[in-house]
Amino acid sequence: MTGIVPAPAALTFLEHVAPYRLAPPTRIVAPGEAHPIGLLLATELRVATGFDIPVVHGDAGAADISLVLNDGFYAVEQTSVESYTLEVSHAGVIIEARATAGLYRGTRSLRQLLPARIGDDDHGRAFGDDDDHGGASGDDDGLAFGGWVAPAVSVSDAPRFDYRGAMLDVVRHFFPVEDVLRFIDALALLKINVLHLHLTDDQGWRIQIDSWPELTGIGASTAVGGARGGFYSKSDYRRIVDYAAERFLTIVPEIDLPGHTNAALSAYAELNHDGVARSPYEGVEVGFSSLSAAPERAEATDQFLEDVLREVAELTPGPWLHIGGDESLSTSKADYRALVERITTTAASMGKTVIGWHEIGASPSLPADTIAQYWSYLEPQGDAASLTRSVVEQGGQVIMSPADVAYLDIQHVGSQPTPHGYPLGLDWANGPTSLDDALAWEPTEIVPGIAEAQILGVEAPLWTETACTISDVEFLAFPRIAAIAEIGWSPLPGAEGRDRDGFVARLSGLGAHWDAAGTVYCAVDGVPWHTDLAATT
């Protein structure tokens, strides 16, 4: 038995209780607000099993899956909207929660308890044929090797941190909508609840802005190394937002300011200090671009900020708007503070909570609820700790993304093959980064003077200088992002630290789920990867 990733707050395998069997008569009982979650789960289960799996109201029967909303519910003494309980036995499955988000998280645990082939998108494929992927068996319910069975368990679960994120840089290399949706599905299985999209940088501008059309007309044409550019239309972006919301992920858009702005500066001359448009950029250097704080450019800069941030905020139903703020090395300290104040004030005026990389702590006039995203090392470099504390001292919180353990673009340890045979990943952040590195850190122990209550959560960023395809992205992200999900969701470990052996045992079974879904991952050493898609967790 390998269990669930991330580890639930409490899980008991019921050794003397018969397991659950998903079978042709199975229904999903999901009344009221639970109904959409039931439909989503049914769609997933139908694809793999070929069963009808109707979604119904009313009383549950044998073999049914019940989704129960209960306003008075709480799990493990927590009131998080993501908390849930999961009861699995021969009599059926019951997932109970006080909110729909909790029901959905419970379905992700159930997915991991079922055989990995439940994530296979080849309709009705049966276990056990001679080829690697199975085939029709002639069995009337498509079952072999024990069938679609989940062990009898009792789970009571809730997240440690409210924010558990991944970041995808779609600028240095652009990824079409379908790739982003595929990534969202893989994140959702790990109970990740935020996808931060890095939408603008020196190499490109990836989001349609009606009031400044050349941001995409000119600024979207480039990517690193001459790769294909591109951008998301507003309908594309809404599709991503809606798809994520159905899976209880919030999209956080990042408009990187005041540095990392060459794409904008190449599109509009009036944003440049000297009034001359910059050349498009396809390299990987940082720190050379900046909006102008000069008085003669103030009107254009302020209009640009107002229009861009308004349009992005209007497209984004989530509470957060990321304004970047990192590596603005060509901006004077005085200009940087002035620009950050203007940018954060404008973003907050759109009704959004501002997130920025920890450098924004250089401004003494941030909105009170601003969030700093810490991206220095486990041992803070330079003034990273003091800048992060500055944001907290102004009434803000912190997202922890220490680069030497949480950055997914850093190379894996070892010489594992890459999806396409070319070098993949960087090593600047004390790399390569091992799976153990990604697991063995504690968010409260990085910046002195910051308490757990001041930490909103954790995020694993993935920059795409070397990642050209979604397979590259997945290879870099998995399995290390599972360790970050564990840190964000699972209970605070004891004095002995996280249970590395227990994590590896649970992770070993997750590899088969990734195989079934077609998710590329790096089969790092030290994990006894399971490849049997028919095995029960």
Which amino acids are annotated catalytic? 327
Instruction: State the Cα–Cα distance between residues 169 and 130, nearest whole angstrom.
Output: 41
| CA 106 from centroid of its chain's CA atoms | 18
Instruction: State the Cα–Cα distance between residues 290 and 487, nearest whole angstrom.
Output: 35
Burial class (CB in 10 A: 0-12, 13-18, 19+), 78: middle
Q: Do the Cβ atoms of 512 and 116 come closer than 8 Å?
A: yes
Backbone angles phi and psi of 257, in degrees to 5: -145, 155
Tokens for 411? 């190379």
DSSP states along 249-303: -EEEEEEEESBS-HHHHHH-GGGSTTS-PPPP--S---S--B----GGGHHHHHH
Instruction: State the Cα–Cα distance between residues 265 and 186, nearest whole angstrom.
Output: 35
- CA dist 172 to 168, 205, 353, 403, 460, Å? 10, 10, 26, 18, 17
Question: In the chain, what is the straight-line distance between the N-terminal and C-terminal CA atoms, in Å?
Answer: 5
Instruction: State the Cα–Cα distance between residues 534 and 67, nearest whole angstrom.
Output: 25
* Pairing state between β 65-69 and 28-29: parallel
Residue 208: which residues within 8 A CB-CB, separation 6 or more?
A: 216, 231, 232, 233, 234, 237
- CA dist 377 to 34, 285, 308, 475, Å? 42, 20, 32, 23
Instruction: State the Cα–Cα distance between residues 380 and 400, nearest whole angstrom.
Output: 12
Tokens for 377? 């090392």
